[in-house]
Amino acid sequence: MDTSRQEYRDALTRLRVLREQSGLTLKKVEEVSRGRWKAGAVGSYERGSRHLTLERAFELLDFYGAQISALAPSSFDENFRATIDLRRLRAFESADKFTQVIKNLVQNLKSKRGDWNTEVASIRNSDIQALQAATGYLDQSFFNALEIRGLLVPRKT
């Protein structure tokens, strides 16, 4: 499979991840959208069995509350890890959308892993990609958003 076709398939996978991160099943997408988005059509887009135009992609991403950059390929090293400062994360009283998504997903990750460290959370590359897809911030903009909020623990050199 050529590179551009694989990147397209990867973008469709990220589209599915966005839907799932939004807590939506295919049936729920159809219900919430009041039939605007049919479950079969969205599933076909995600599988790549139905062509997704850029215009429809923008519309679907808007429905999910995400930016088009959420579909862009990631340039991360597979073994990359980041550390989130959970004390700072909890300190946000009126969290913006980005911070609220981070809070929810990090809590979910920690719960699934049985990680009860209350100071920091180690985030793997695959977690970072999911967080990026859910927030719509990709590559360096994601890390910039974490740094601006003081949530990223500096890496030891």
pLDDT at 77: 47
Q: Which amino acid is at 90?
A: R
Q: In sequence order, what are the residues at sequence separation of 6 or more whose Cβ sits closer than 8 angstroms to the Cβ of residue 66?
A: 18, 133, 134, 136
Calpha distance 103→96 (Å, rounded): 11
The pTM of the full predicted model, rounded to 2 decimals, is 0.48
Domain with CATH 1.10.260.40 in the chain: 3-66
Q: For residue 105, with 0-12 CB atoms within 10 Å meaning exposed, 13-18 middle and 19 or more buried, which class applies? A: middle
Residue 74 pLDDT greater than 60, yes or no: no
What proportions of the chain, in percent to the nearest 5, are helix, strand and coil?
60, 5, 35
**What mean pLDDT is predicted for residues 65-92?**
74
* Residue 18, token pair as written in the block: 């966005």
Provide the CATH topology of domain 81-148: Arc Repressor Mutant, subunit A (1.10.10)
CATH classification for the domain delimited by 3-66, as one of 1.10.357.10, 1.10.260.40, 1.20.1560.10, 3.40.50.261: 1.10.260.40
Which regions of the chain carry the CATH code 1.10.10? Answer: 81-148
Please state, in angstroms and rounded to a whole number, the distance separating the CA atoms of residues 39 and 45: 10
| Cβ contacts of 150 within 8 Å, gap of 6 or more | 85, 88
Q: State the pLDDT at residue 32.
A: 93
C-beta neighbour count of 130 within 10 angstroms: 20
- pLDDT above 80 for 104: yes
Structure tokens at 115: 């990680």
pLDDT of residue 39: 95
Task: Give 93's pLDDT tier (boundaries 50, 70, 90).
Answer: low
CB 75 within 8 A of CB 10: no
